[in-house]
Every structure is written in C-alpha cells, then in structure tokens.
C-alpha cells in the first residue's frame, strides 16, 4: 500500500500532527460536509467531544484551538499565524463556521475533554455534533486522527481500500520495494518520483518537493533566530539561539573540536522542534512531534555531506526526501506513525529511520545500504515510549529530536561503511516495532499518565 509524498510530508502548524493538524482537518471536513449538503446555514450550535489521548493530552497539544481553526474553515498550510483567532473568539463568543456562518461558540462549554473514555477503533477519537435552533441534531460524525495529520471518518477506519492511490510501482513491504528497484534498475527515489508523476503533473511534484525542503529550512532559520519562552506550564526557554551563539563564538575563536558537528546537528533539530512547540509552521516528517529530525539531517547533508555525494545539492535534497517518503510508506502500511498507538517509536523512531535512509541515498548508497541505514535507525529506537511531561510536546520531545537526528547520521554512516548486507531486514524491524508499540501499557502511548510525565515534574 503506497502512501504519497504529499501525504507523508504535509505543511502545517505545531505542536502535533495527530493532536493539532488531525483535529483541525477533521473539524474542517465536518464543516465542509455541512456546507456541501446545504445544512450549514441551519446550524445554531456545535458541540465537540475529544476522547482518549486527545482528551488526556489535548490541552498541552493545542487540540481545542486546532478544532476552532478547523471549524473556522482554516487550512493548516495557509492559516495566518499572525492572527489570534482564539483571542477574537474569547472576546466575541461568535465563531464564523466555515468562515461564513456565525454561531454562538464558547470553547470551555462546547469542547469537552472526555478523559475517562477511549473509542474502541483508535486512541485519537473525536465526535462533532451540529444542532439547529430547536436543538435537533443536523449532523453527528465521529472522526479519528490516525497519525501524521491524516484523518478518517468512523465509517472509513475499518474499510481502508487496499490501494487508496493506484500507482505503477505499488509496494507494501521493503522486500517488494527492493524487488522493484532491482527489476527495473531504479533507485528508491526514482520509484517514488514515477509513482508521484502518475498521481499529479511532474512540475507540481517537483515544486512540492522544493517547497517541503524550503519550509523545513525556513523552520530551522526561524528557530535559530527566535528567543523567548515556549507556551505551556513548563516555562521552558528556547535553547537554539543560545546554542547558535556559542557555536559562532567557538568558530570565530578557532575553538572547534572534532565533535562540533554534533553540536550543529543538535542545534538544527532544536530549532525546528522549538518552532513546533511554539505552534510555528513546520513539516510533518513524519509527524510534528518529530519534525526536527529530517531538517537537521538534511542541513547536515547540505553543509557537510554533499561534498562527498554524487549528486548536486538540490538533486541530493530531492533524492533524500523522496527516499525518506518511501520508508515512511512502509511504516504506515505495516505499523503506525502515531505516538498514541506505538509510542515515540512511531514518531522520532520513524523520523530517524527515514532520515538515515534519506541521507544514505543522498550520499549515493546502494539499495541494500539504504535499507540497512533505515533498519539500524529503527532497531535502536525499539521500545521508545511516549510520555510527554504535562502533555506538552517539549520534554522529552525537543531533545529527543536532536538525539534522533544524530542517531540517523550515525546509522547512515554505519550502513555506508558496509557493503549493505545485514542480518535483520527492515521488514522484520518494522514488524517488531509494531508489536512492541502495541504491547506498551497505555500510559506510555501519548496519555501523559506514566513514565517521565508521571515522575519528572508536576505541572
Ligand atoms: S514523546 Fe515522542 S511521540 Fe510523544 S509527544 Fe513527544 S515526540 Fe511525540
């Protein structure tokens, strides 16, 4: 089952793809269905119920605000981040449904966090009710945020088509992907490029790949330049600007040691992860919580790696992203990228695996070396729990992005120093990751009820 590049890498707002972007998209879709069916103008009130992980960590992840953005008909990629929609709503108690139809709406009254209840189909459930002036129900829909910003309505979650997007080179497992590459004498990036070219015009695909790369790099640059305290109860200061200043000083004083490169990778990952924590514009890679890993490894490639690469800078960046997209497709088909389902293995673990494969490919690695890089990266993230302190995507998430980025570089380098032969296949590691994640107690799967969230601090 192939997942398109356009679904793997979405541009949106932090701090969480499953808890911010997914609920925003679900709310927007609910409103759009009301509009299409001619019921929008009859709506007098809307009630929203958040279940499971969305209820338990929704406040820290900005879920209620995201629901409001979606009800307003805003899009995560284009929403004006300079405008304070929530303040406007709090002052007026008037929400323009779909941007056109005014209703009375109070966030505290109309969005309920149902902390005691998890819907059986998925840990991230939401119910939207639209009522008319007499209190009669106009629409009642349940949606699930299944990871990476993707959303399914209740009737779709069990009936996902085997191949939602027919493509010439469909693959579900890494073994199938490797077979295609060997048979057709194509790289992984070329397979993805051909598939994408059948889904959309090639210039659209090319400009999307460039836009994803640019958006990631803009997030790095903004994160380095922005000081201040991150939102939420932890009152954490942004660290990226301070790390950057120290690195610049060391550079100008000729005080550079052999491991300074690790400081740079940490800096780039911190910059994006802090932007995400502050609700800034980042790219799901594969999620918002793990959005710092791939940009940091790509900046490493751009600054240090590409000198030894067979590709030009721009081509190398595109090979990196297209390869990473194929690896994400494997995790989506055979496991999960949702922290609420499989813990942080599915977020920073998958990001690390994608980044390792992308870097190995951009450095000219063989198909076997690329698989090996992705496999090493996940093998050493197995069992990684999701236990965000105070339900905020900050501790351990920001540092975890940095550790994941450094680990990805190491995994790629290990793979590139070998001949590609390896004992454990990527498919075996993905199956193990999925089994391990589902065996984790619920407290370690984005509920903020156990682990660091329980023992580290009180909120
Ligand atoms: S611990 Fe990992 S999975 Fe959980 S919120 Fe943080 S980044 Fe996401």
Q: What is the DSSP string of 303-332?
A: IIIGGG-SS-HHHHHHHHHHHHHHHHHHHH
- How far apart (Å, rounded) are the C-alpha atoms in residues 52 and 257? 47
Is residue 146 located within the same domain as residue 189?
no
Q: Is residue 263 part of a domain?
A: yes
Q: Is there an atom of ligand 1 within 6 Å of 390 CB?
A: no
Q: Is residue 382 part of a domain?
A: yes
Enumerate residues 6+ apart whose C-beta is below 8 A from 205.
Answer: 5, 193, 196, 197, 199
Q: Is there an atom of ligand 1 within 6 Å of 386 CB?
A: yes
**pLDDT lower than 50: segments of the chain:** none
Q: Is there an atom of ligand 1 within 6 Å of 347 CB?
A: yes
- How far apart (Å, rounded) are the C-alpha atoms in residues 8 and 227? 30
With 0-12 / 13-18 / 19 or more C-beta atoms within 10 angstroms meaning exposed / middle / buried, residue 26 is: buried
Tell me the best of 338, 389, 400 to mutate to test the pocket of ligand 1, counting ligand atoms within 8 Å of each CB and taking the most. 400
Q: Which atom of ligand 1 is nearest to the CA of 385?
A: 1
Distances (CA, A) of 32 to 44, 46, 263, 442: 16, 14, 46, 34
Q: Which atom of ligand 1 is nearest to the CA of 446?
A: 4
Is residue 89 located within the same domain as residue 211?
no
Q: Is residue 4 part of a domain?
A: no
- How far apart (Å, rounded) are the C-alpha atoms in residues 441 and 177? 33
Within 10 A of 346 (CB to CB), how many other CB atoms are there?
A: 33
Within 10 A of 414 (CB to CB), how many other CB atoms are there?
A: 17
- How far apart (Å, rounded) are the C-alpha atoms in residues 452 and 444? 9
- How far apart (Å, rounded) are the C-alpha atoms in residues 8 and 271? 21
pLDDT of residue 305: 83
pLDDT of residue 162: 55
Total domains present in the chain: 2
pLDDT of residue 294: 98
Structural domain boundaries enclosing 198: 174-455
Within 10 A of 281 (CB to CB), how many other CB atoms are there?
A: 19
Helix (H) or strand (E) holding 270: helix 260-277
With 0-12 / 13-18 / 19 or more C-beta atoms within 10 angstroms meaning exposed / middle / buried, residue 44 is: middle
Distance 347 CA to ligand 1 centre (A): 7
Q: Is residue 397 part of a domain?
A: yes
Q: Is residue 1 part of a domain?
A: no
**3's tokens:** 């997942």
Q: Is residue 449 part of a domain?
A: yes
Query: CA 405, 406, 412 angle in degrees (round to 5)?
Result: 90
DSSP 230: P
**110's tokens:** 């109309």
Is residue 203 located within the same domain as residue 260?
yes
pLDDT tens-digit map of 239-288: 999 999 999 999 999 998 989 999 999 999 999 999 999 999 999 999 99
Q: Which atom of ligand 1 is nearest to the CA of 343?
A: 3
**381's tokens:** 């993230």
Is residue 108 located within the same domain as residue 232?
no
- How far apart (Å, rounded) are the C-alpha atoms in residues 192 and 212? 15
Buried/exposed 231-262: b ≥16 CB within 10 Å, e otherwise: bbebebebbbbebbeebeeeeeeeeeeeeeeb
Tell me the best of 284, 337, 344, 445 to mutate to test the pocket of ligand 1, counting ligand atoms within 8 Å of each CB and taking the most. 344
Q: Is there an atom of ligand 1 within 6 Å of 344 CB?
A: yes
pLDDT of residue 459: 73
Q: Is residue 8 part of a domain?
A: no
DSSP 386: B
- How far apart (Å, rounded) are the C-alpha atoms in residues 449 and 72? 32
**132's tokens:** 């008319």
Is residue 264 located within the same domain as residue 306?
yes
Report yes or no: 145 and 23 within 8 Å, Cβ to Cβ: yes
Is residue 138 located within the same domain as residue 178?
no
Is residue 133 located within the same domain as residue 220?
no
Q: Is there an atom of ligand 1 within 6 Å of 18 CB?
A: no
pLDDT of residue 147: 87
Among 131, 157, 183, where does a domain finish? 157
Distance 104 CA to ligand 1 centre (A): 35
CATH, residue 132? 3.30.1330.90
| HSE-up of residue 89 (Cα within 13 Å, Cβ side) | 25
Q: Is there an atom of ligand 1 within 6 Å of 437 CB?
A: no
Is residue 275 located within the same domain as residue 317?
yes
Is residue 149 located within the same domain as residue 184?
no
Distance 273 CA to ligand 1 centre (A): 11
Q: Is there an atom of ligand 1 within 6 Å of 402 CB?
A: no
pTM: 0.93
Distance 341 CA to ligand 1 centre (A): 11
Is residue 18 located within the same domain as residue 119?
yes
Q: Is residue 129 part of a domain?
A: yes
Q: Is there an atom of ligand 1 within 6 Å of 289 CB?
A: yes
Beta strands in 180-292 (DSSP E): 281-283
Q: Which atom of ligand 1 is nearest to the CA of 344?
A: 3
- How far apart (Å, rounded) are the C-alpha atoms in residues 122 and 134? 33
Among 157, 187, 216, where does a domain finish? 157
Distance 367 CA to ligand 1 centre (A): 30
- How far apart (Å, rounded) are the C-alpha atoms in residues 262 and 221? 18
Q: Which residue has the tokens 């269905």?
A: 33
- How far apart (Å, rounded) are the C-alpha atoms in residues 398 and 270? 6
Distance 6 CA to ligand 1 centre (A): 22
Q: Is there an atom of ligand 1 within 6 Å of 451 CB?
A: no
Q: Is there an atom of ligand 1 within 6 Å of 397 CB?
A: yes
- How far apart (Å, rounded) are the C-alpha atoms in residues 364 and 316? 9
Is residue 146 located within the same domain as residue 230?
no
Is residue 276 located within the same domain as residue 127?
no
């Amino acid at each position: 089952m192939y997942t398109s590049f356009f679904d793997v890498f979405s541009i949106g707002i932090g701090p969480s793809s499953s808890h911010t972007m997914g609920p925003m998209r679900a709310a927007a879709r609910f409103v759009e269905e009301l509009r299409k069916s001619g019921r929008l103008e009859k709506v007098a009130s809307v009630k929203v119920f958040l279940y499971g992980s969305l209820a338990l960590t929704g406040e820290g992840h900005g879920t209620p605000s995201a629901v409001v953005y979606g009800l307003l008909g805003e899009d995560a990629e284009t929403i004006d981040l300079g405008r304070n929609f929530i303040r406007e709503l709090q002052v007026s108690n008037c929400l323009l449904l779909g941007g056109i139809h005014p209703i009375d709406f109070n966030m505290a009254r109309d969005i309920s966090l149902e902390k005691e209840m998890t819907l059986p189909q998925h840990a991230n459930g939401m119910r939207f009710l639209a009522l008319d002036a007499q209190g009669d129900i106009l629409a009642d829909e349940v949606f699930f945020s299944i990871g990476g910003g993707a959303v399914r309505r209740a009737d779709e979650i069990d009936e996902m088509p085997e191949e939602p997007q027919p493509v010439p080179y469909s693959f579900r497992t890494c073994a199938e992907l490797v077979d295609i590459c060997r048979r057709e004498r194509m790289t992984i990036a070329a397979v993805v490029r051909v598939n994408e070219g059948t889904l959309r015009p090639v210039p659209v695909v090319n400009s999307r790949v460039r836009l994803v790369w640019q958006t990631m790099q803009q997030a790095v640059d903004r994160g380095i330049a922005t000081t201040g305290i991150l939102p939420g109860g932890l009152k954490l200061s942004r660290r990226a600007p301070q790390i950057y200043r120290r690195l610049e000083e060391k550079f100008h004083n000729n005080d550079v040691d052999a491991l300074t490169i690790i400081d740079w990778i940490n800096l780039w990952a911190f910059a994006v992860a802090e932007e995400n924590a502050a609700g800034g514009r980042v790219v799901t890679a594969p999620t918002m919580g793990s959005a710092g890993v791939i940009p940091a490894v790509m900046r490493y490639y751009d600054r240090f790696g590409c000198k030894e690469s067979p590709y030009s800078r721009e081509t190398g960046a595109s090979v990196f992203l297209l390869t990473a997209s194929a690896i994400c497709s494997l995790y989506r088909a055979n496991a999960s990228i949702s922290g609420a389902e499989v813990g942080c293995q599915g977020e920073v673990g998958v990001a690390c695996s994608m980044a390792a494969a992308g870097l190995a490919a951009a450095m000219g690695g063989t198909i076997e070396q690329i698989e090996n890089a992705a496999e090493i990266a996940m093998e050493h993230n197995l069992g990684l729990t999701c236990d965000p302190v105070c339900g905020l995507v900050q501790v351990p998430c920001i540092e975890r992005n940095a550790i994941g980025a450094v680990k990805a570089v190491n995994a790629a380098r290990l793979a590139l120093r070998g001949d590609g032969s390896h004992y454990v296949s990527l498919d075996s590691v993905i199956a193990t990751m999925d089994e391990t994640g589902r065996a984790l107690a619920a407290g370690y799967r984005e509920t903020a009820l156990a682990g660091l969230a329980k023992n580290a601090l009180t909120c």
